[in-house]
């Protein structure tokens, strides 16, 4: 829901997810996964939720 409040971020996330399904280069796949993770973690923080990484600490 937090991502949906930011249309540009939501569009970027959709584009990244689409690209992730097509990419064949491992380095690019890692970069995409990292950016998706940053977007989701930022949205979780905005919503006041703990991420998996924070819960493990």
pLDDT in tens, 14-57: 999 999 999 999 999 999 999 999 999 998 888 787 766 665 55
Mean pLDDT calculated for residue range 1-22: 93
Q: pTM score, two decimals?
A: 0.79
- pLDDT higher for 29 or 1? 29
The sign of the CA dihedral 46, 52, 55, 57 is negative
Tens-place pLDDT, residues 27-38: 999 999 999 999
Predicted pLDDT at 50: 72
């Amino acid at each position: 829901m937090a991502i949906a409040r930011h249309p540009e971020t939501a569009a970027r996330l959709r584009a990244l997810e689409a690209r992730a399904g097509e990419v064949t280069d491992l380095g690019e796949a890692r970069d995409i996964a990292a950016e998706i993770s940053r977007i989701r973690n930022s949205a979780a923080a905005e919503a006041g939720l703990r991420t998996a990484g924070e819960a493990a600490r």
